Structure 1
């Protein structure tokens, strides 16, 4: 196996956390995660540009319909939790997060997993995404309700809750995607070459379901956190 893989089956063992790394200014960078994230981001941008150029009211493509349905579902979640007029910018933010996570997760179904593992199977990326989300949530809460935001820290449980939000958000995504990668390695180890393609194919199909589900969960929780930050204002609507 290449050092780029997250998991390497060597001598009948599975080694977790192997990455293709490089040192830069005293930091160790996981290049496989960075490249895979860039690939997922490029796919999202490329598909977005393709849909925008070929968008049609009369004869929409299947991809355009998929994008529009996804956007409508996110708009509905934002409307239910915040009110569109309260925070219209949350829709494109959540939409971008959802698509990036979705296509990052879907890299797990490619046969090139050895060289291009799903970046969401690396806790560094999932925690980074969660931290960006929470920074946006905290900034929004401070901007809209500064007194209320800082006042609620009088309760020690509120401090713990704010700390655990990005941790739980990142570990949930990381754990589910990583478990799928582990399962593939277990299937390769446990089944003979002539037979392993059956459970391998079945699990890859299940990976698609997990990829979509985890993207949905992350996006909904993101919207809910924004809803909590704008609770008073959203109640007015």
Structure 2
């Protein structure tokens, strides 16, 4: 048992545990906040922000062209997917490994999105869905969404981390070459410029990638439902 624990190297799995726990706590707190909210009074900040977040998901699905039963059915999953990606990757700000840094997670999520194309297409169009595959180019492009979705987020998360490491190591090396005595121990250039890079990579980049992944999933599903 001790040998297994010493060889265990799944930081993303630990992030998943923490993420589920935090979402559970947040959901409980939000439930009681919504329950005590009165219609004739302004909602609390947490309730208002949650309403805005729900609004973003609804707008995303509605503007993609989803209508009626399809829009109603996919909104819960789209909400869950966006929340999962945001929470799971933003936890890197607290020293945890982002879930998007392992290809198994991005591939699994991409597979669900890819599989949904055919489930929704067959459900909505029946046999008409296969009509487009009379074109050989359509057959060749079948795995494209799976590859595109899975590698896009994984590549951006890993690429951002590598960029931060290279920047820190590079500035430290250059700084150590300067004739500044004991000050060479402190990486002052990294201290000055690291914050904007971390904001771009760990916050802005994560939000954009989560939104793009969710948007593409919605777009693929809505497109597959139409002729």
Query: TM range, normalised to the smaller chain?
Result: 0.7 to 0.9
Shift of the alpha carbon at 1:63? 3.0
Alignment-derived partner of residue 150 in structure 1: 130
C-alpha deviations, 1:7-43, integer Å up to 9, x for none?
xxxxxxxxxxxxx965xxxxxxx62122222323333
Greater Rg over alpha carbons, structure: 2
What's the TM-score once normalised by structure 2's chain length? 0.80
Relative to structure 2, which stretch is displaced further, 123-132 or 50-59? 50-59
**Partner residue, 1:52:** 31
Q: Post-superposition shift, 1:53?
A: 2.0
| TM-score, normalisation: structure 1 | 0.77
1:125 corresponds in structure 2 to 105
Look up the match of 1:75.
58
What is the aligned partner in structure 2 of residue 203 from structure 1?
A: 197
Decide which structure has greater helix share: 2
Report the alpha carbon displacement of residue 101 of structure 1 after superposing the two structures with TM. 0.5
- Match of 1:194? 187
1:30-45 map, 5 Å: 31-45=10-24
| 1:104-153, Cα deviation, whole Å (9 max, x unpaired) | 2212322x2xxx31110111111111101222232121222221222322
Answer yes or no: is the 8 Å Cα contact 1:44–1:99 preserved in 2: no
Separation in 2, partners of 1:136, 1:39: 28
CA–CA separation in structure 2 for the residues paired with 1:88 and 1:66: 22
Q: CA deviation at 1:187?
A: 2.7
Cα RMSD for the two superposed structures: 2.1
Match for residue 216 of structure 1 among 204, 211, 222: 211
Consecutive unaligned residues in structure 1, runs of 5 or more = 1-19, 23-29, 233-237
Checking the alignment, whether the CA contact within 8 Å between 1:78 and 1:223 is kept in structure 2 is yes
Tell me if the contact between 1:43 and 1:103 (Cα under 8 Å) persists in the aligned partners.
Answer: no
Counting strand residues as a fraction of each chain, which structure ranks higher? 1
Q: Which runs of 4+ in 1 moved over 4 A?
A: none
Unaligned runs of 5+ in 2: 1-5, 173-185
